Structure 1
């Protein structure tokens, strides 16, 4: 009986051992083992040693941050607060529209030049020539001899300026220069007896989304206020201008913070607070700062010249979408396509034309139209730039003489055309067109609302000027361009469309069933 028990026990041990060996082999070499070995590990980050707080940083930089008080003739929106970012196009709504009244009630008003008629209707309460406080904002010293950086919209309506130091000392300042395009301005405090604590611009290209930042300013007149947060995003375009490249932060920024600095943890200025997104007029955790790299270039010119001189080549441009890239044979949807070169402008003189895609400037890749605008603007007028373009399916290089940007550059007017009775329907694209009276292009008289053309914004009255950079005067010209694109293996054709003196490009998918 005991032998039987021993035999059973040994068999059990052997079975267990065999099962374990098989299981090990299965995990190591079998299907389950393969899945386990290939499975990626979950993300884990070793937490950094957290600082006790920002007190040491604030103690060093706060004396360099000032409040800016502005006096002058009162005007609408001259409160020195951050610019409010409202929905695009709300200011084009009729005056009696309820949405327009709603946004205006919350501070979303067009600024001075767009709101002149409303200002003119308001009774003047001040005596002629009598100045009163009209705005307050923030600023900071960038030199020990008293140069102060702030926002243009803080000082734009003022005639007299006062800088209030952290200890409450008030000093008169004069305006050195301002730049509305980037919303920057420089003031100068003249006090030869005093050397001011100042801060330096840092390298905003080194900051990452999630990095800590500290904002110091004068919200609601409460000077020396400190808030903290993180970098929420980079490269934000808020529709403020062609050079939009804002840093988004979630540190609390309110009215009066405009012109104040945003610091990294080393005490360098990586941004200048300029705008907030807010339906209530107060901070909701979305604020925008001008990058230090942009500010430094502008401020240096303002101090040296009192104004900013930018390079200009005279082109109307638009983004290269995937459809446009496909229609032109580009491998990537990067660059800026020329919708219209200005007549007698630098680009036109160099031979650039509508349909060319600018891919690089002086060897630096152009990502999009904003990137092109910044790159060209940074080149001094009088210099020459090597512009890389994509034309007719191949890359070329053109040398363009950079000129100074005009105060109010006007783009070349698009050629329009009236309709006649020789209409032709392009069924594949849902378009009905007629030749224009001047023989330049085809006028769209009807658009199928369910067509690709309608989806891409083409509408009656538009003028199709070129197809794949070839001028068109008849439907035969369009069919020829489509046939050539099909033979080249393109998935779309590129139409140059003019509307209301503006030109743009639209990529339409090719009809794959077409012969």
Structure 2
């Protein structure tokens, strides 16, 4: 459910259809006099232009262009979020790359950019383009697949960056005007206006759904872009759409983003609190059947053995109505609140047991990796030469030298694979080439070349001397490292 999108494939396209109608021999109808307009029409004409607001914030909205690796072991559309965002995989079992574009926005003059996880997930390289024409390579600092939030950082000399701030998403009301800016279908800095249609939407995209819903136009390519209030504050990150041109979009609320960003920036991932219970919503009928004076809360259906809840003495049919004084209106609300607390936090649960209200203290544990996502270090994707420049390497021993077509084993790093569209391909490197020097220093193994690539600063160029299979000549290649 990515664009996140319902049923509509979010492939970024470069085609725009324009329709025009020419009125033949039809004189233009005169505009009605202002005095003849209905009161509501005059009020609409009196609305101030949003141009000053747009001008004040759009420079901080960026285009995020990504080359990403996608494992395509199946034909057709795969299960990878990037398959759904960038297009389906091709047949075969090899690793492919996809190019796609999303949006983001700068929140710190040091170059911190917020976007969606599904925009940058599995990225081989990331390029961020600003509204003023500047472009920067970027790296992933942290990402959270369960809320679809990611923090990336611009690399290189960053100065004079425009920024926008995160507002209070709890303060915005249904019916308030909202503004979306992004890169839909590659149309940079596109602006759309709408209202907040609903809050706290659960669209079953993940365990922590709490989306803002808007009718401001959001399309593929808007992913990761900001949703503004009329003060110019970001109240959401645009992340999902309902397919079919229905005009329904969803945004991650800014207050949730505020809680995640510090962890993503420093740790690269989100560590969540954990109770170890299965719960369901309390309804009016269930409240009556349980002889309770409340109709909202979370009913405990199961307590995991050995979990923090079991150690605290929680029982079946306990109904949690508050945590640390914060009202719990549903099972999802309890799940979200606990997830934002640090493991080891001692929290107070207010609950009803057998009709009696009581408080119970519980020490939160660490949420296990139920979805099998796995915690990845912030710069894991840059630790390998393939992820950074798109080249796979192997040592050259006597056997591989013969297989690769080299008459003698000089040592070196044998190129076994080059990712299409990667820096390695742009440097005219190809599978079967043997790298024997890097920056005029001998290369005797794949490990030595990988270390040389890793040691090259972003934006630097690595001068490689290579041999082609069966050739007696040596060639130079300039590998630009992103």
TM-score when scaled to structure 1? 0.60
The unaligned stretches of length 5 or more in structure 2 are: 1-39, 373-482
Q: CA deviation at 1:409?
A: 7.9
Is the 2:181–2:191 Cα contact (8 Å) retained in structure 1? yes
Cα deviation, 1:334-360, whole Å, max 9, x if unaligned, reads 110011111110001111121111111
1:123 aligns to what? 92
Aligned to 1:220: 185
Q: Are the aligned partners of 2:82 and 2:121 in contact in 1 as well (CA < 8 Å)?
A: no
In structure 2, the residue matched to 1:257 is: 222
Larger Rg: 1
Q: What residue in structure 1 maps to residue 269 of structure 2?
A: 307
* Partner secondary structure for residue 374 of structure 1: helix
- SS state of the match for residue 398, structure 1? strand
Query: Offset at 1:166?
Result: 1.0
8 Å Cα contact 1:144/1:195 also seen in 2: yes
5+ unaligned residues in a row in structure 1: which ranges? 1-43, 77-104, 411-515
* Distance of aligned partners of 1:47 and 1:360 in 2 relative to their CA distance in 1, 3 Å threshold: farther
Quote the Cα distance in structure 2 between the aligned partners of 1:409 and 1:153.
Answer: 16
Q: Out of 298, 301, 319, which is 2:281 matched to?
A: 319
Q: Residue 284 of structure 1: which of 246, 251, 255 is its match?
A: 246
Could you list the per-position Cα deviations for residues 340-382 of structure 1 after superposition, in whole angstroms to 9, with x for gaps in the alignment? 1111100011111211111111122211011111221222211
Q: Is the 8 A contact 1:217 1:256 kept in 2?
A: yes
Q: How does 1:6-155 map to 2 (within 5 A)?
A: 50-74=46-70, 111-112=80-81, 122-123=91-92, 132-155=97-120
Question: 1:312-391, aligned counterparts within 5 Å?
Answer: 312-391=274-353
Q: More deviation in 46-55 or 288-297?
A: 46-55
For 2:165, which of 192, 200, 204 is the aligned residue? 200
Looking at structure 2, the residues matched to 169 and 121 of structure 1 have their Cα atoms a distance apart, in angstroms, of 34
Secondary structure (helix, strand or coil) at the match of 2:123 reads: coil
User: Deviation above 3 Å: which 4+ runs of structure 1?
Assistant: 46-51, 109-115, 118-121
Instruction: Give yes or no for contact 2:213–2:249 (8 Å, CA) kept in 1.
Output: yes
Secondary structure of residue in 2 paired with 1:324: helix
Identify if the C-alpha distance between structure 1 residues 132 and 236 changes in structure 2 by more than 3 Å, giving closer, same or farther.
Answer: same
- Aligned counterpart in structure 2 of residue 405 of structure 1, from 353, 367, 375: 367
- Work out the CA distance in 2 between the residues paired with 1:323 and 1:284: 35
| Distance verdict in 2 for CA 1:133–1:237, change over 3 Å | same
The whole-number CA distance in structure 2 between the counterparts of 1:191 and 1:50 is 46
Secondary structure, counterpart of 1:177 in structure 2: strand
Match of 1:297 in 2: 259
Query: SS where residue 196 of structure 1 aligns?
Result: coil
Change in 2 beyond 3 A, CA 1:110/1:354: farther
Aligned to 2:420: none
Give SS of 2:170's match.
helix
Partner of 1:229: 194
The CA RMSD over aligned residues, in Å, is: 2.8
Hey, what's the Cα distance between the residues in 2 that align with 1:367 and 1:63?
A: 39
1:156 CA drift (Å): 1.2
TM-score, length basis structure 2: 0.64
Check the 8 A contact 2:169/2:253 in 1, yes or no. Answer: yes
1:195-217 residue CA offsets vs partner (Å, 9 max, x unmatched): 31010000111111111111000
Judged with a 3 Å threshold, the aligned counterparts in structure 2 of structure 1 residues 112 and 260 are, in CA distance, closer, same or farther, namely: closer
Tell me how far apart the structure 2 counterparts of residues 256 and 216 of structure 1 sit (CA, whole Å): 10
CA distance in structure 1 between the partners assigned to 2:218 and 2:165 by the alignment? 21
Deviation at 1:406, TM superposition (A): 1.3
Tell me, in whole angstroms, the C-alpha distance in 2 between the residues paired with 1:119 and 1:285: 24
Is the partner of 1:388 in helix, strand or coil?
strand
**CA distance in 2 between partners of 1:307 and 1:74 (Å):** 21
The separation in 2 between residues aligned to 1:120 and 1:161, in whole angstroms, is 20
Q: 1:149/1:113 Cα in 2 relative to 1: closer, same or farther (>3 Å)? A: closer
SS of aligned partner of 1:228: strand
Is the 1:75–1:157 Cα contact (8 Å) retained in structure 2? no
Q: Distance in 2 between matches of 1:113 and 1:322?
A: 42
Inter-partner Cα distance in structure 2 for 1:193 and 1:248: 34
Aligned residue pairs: how many?
Answer: 328
Contact 2:273 / 2:367 at 8 angstroms: preserved in 1? yes
Q: CA separation of 1:156/1:114 partners in 2, compared to 1, >3 Å: closer, same or farther?
A: closer
Q: What is the CA–CA distance in structure 2 between the aligned matches of 1:204 and 1:120, rounded to whole Å?
A: 37
C-alpha distance in 2, partners of 1:326/1:218?
A: 51
Q: What is the aligned partner in structure 1 of residue 137 from structure 2? A: 172
Task: Give CA deviations for 1:93-129 in whole Å, capped at 9, x if unaligned.
Answer: xxxxxxxxxxxx9x9x8545999xx98881368xx7x
1:169-194 C-alpha deviation (Å, 9 max, x unpaired): 22100000100111000100023352
Residues 363/132 of structure 1: CA separation in 2 closer, same or farther (3 Å cut): closer
